[in-house]
Structure 1
Amino acid sequence: MRDSVVVDGVGKTYAGGVEAIREARFRVAPGEFLSLLGPSGCGKSTLLMMIAGLLAPSRGSIRVDDAEVQGPRRDVGIVFQSPVLLPWRTVLDNVLLPVEMLRLRRTDYARRARDLLSMAKVDDFAAKLPHELSGGMKQRVAICRALVHDPALLLMDEPFSALDAMTRDQMGLELLRIWDVHKKTVVFVTHSIREAVFLSDRVLVMSPRPATIGFETDVKLPRPRTMDMQEADEFNRYVGLLRHSIEAGTRP
């Protein structure tokens, strides 16, 4: 089976010679939940945007479903740090926005949009405007929007970073529940070690800028994940391993 994502020797240097990413090289299997972990400013979001086709690499190549990424792709869904919902559109209309942008038939996707809202437990708010929703509810809507056109790949850029701790934990559980149903390939950016361990099948640790992939580990915890797992010795062994890797400059 071919890999869903192949990042091959990718680097990014901005104008003025600022090197954000020196080299990134990794593969993501179909249906895998992969987290990119590292300190703020290390280039995690830059790498994610290059996978999305929203930013061109300075060197190297990226392939998604065996096709080289040369620009934005319709088979990719993106969830940003902020929900970025249009304030004048209802929740349902916000979810259906990618359908309109991709010039797909709205009637073909309206049922899917409502089903996603139901799965995310915000279907009662389909006719509401974004200002009537809590922060966690807005981010659930953003996840539904990213999934509405049935992309093969879901890219998530610290989507829960602005939420309080309790809401963040709940959103992690909701995300895993949705992922378990739809089995999308996920690349998830975070600077939270515990979040990375809790969500992921595998974690890649990025070094400080100019970034490389300095360390990786499979997370062999059983699924479905539960909050009680975070108290287990095995969970905290992974947390300690990743923390040591980051503190040692990604030298395990």
Structure 2
Amino acid sequence: MLFNNKVVLVTGGSSGLGFAIAEAFANQGATLIITGRRQAQLDDAVSHLGANASTVCADISDPADLDALFGHIQAVHGRIDVLIANAGTGAVEPLGAITVAGFDKLFTTNVKGTTFTVQGALPLMGKGSSIVIIGSTASINPGPGLGVYGATKAALRALVRSWILDIKGSGVRINLLSPGPVNTQSLRDVLGDNAQQIIDVLSEKSTLGRIGQAHEIGQAALFLASDASSYVNGAELFADGGASQV
């Protein structure tokens, strides 16, 4: 699973799972582009990723930002070999407290933003290229307050099933990587004061007896993006310690 001379784009790559995924590709020799909405955070991230990494400040929910991103990549690199569509957002809004603004933000970023990220990248991708979309086990097992978030991730699963038919014969593969709970600061921030208690409960649901580590999701992304998975297309890989299988 080496990526020497491969151009890899990771959206939302400046922190959390996105950074762990970007780091995995950097360690395998990729020419890496990461995006995010905050330049200072991007600069800090790229300082840890090595000389072959660069940044583009972009919000995937903004069509103008996406146009600028792909224009830059075309001018500088001429192609994309791997797209990791990771950028997204989450929120806890239980039924009865769902807001229009929260609903729109989740669908605009997670579904619309991902759709036009993939569509914008495709003209730069050739035979043998790979797209990995980061989903979530919330698509099939959303917890309390995660109904809207889970719906956005379920929508991605439906899109992938259709998209592999739309681009049949192109030689570009599209797969979905759906992590379970992963020990990141963003997860702890969402869980708030009861973070450790909830993490303990989530660990009990895993057949491995723990939640995931960010680097483990990076390794799964490497597999789906690499020639090691050349006959895997349209699949959803659950990286959740087996919790979704029992």
Relative to its length, the structure with more strand (as a share) is 1
TM class by shorter chain equals 0.3 to 0.5
Which structure: larger Rg? 1
Task: Compute the TM-score of the two structures, normalised by the length of structure 1.
Answer: 0.34
Per the normalisation by structure 2, the TM-score is 0.35
Greater share of residues in helix:
2
Higher RCO, 1 vs 2 (CA within 8 Å, ≥6 residues apart): 1
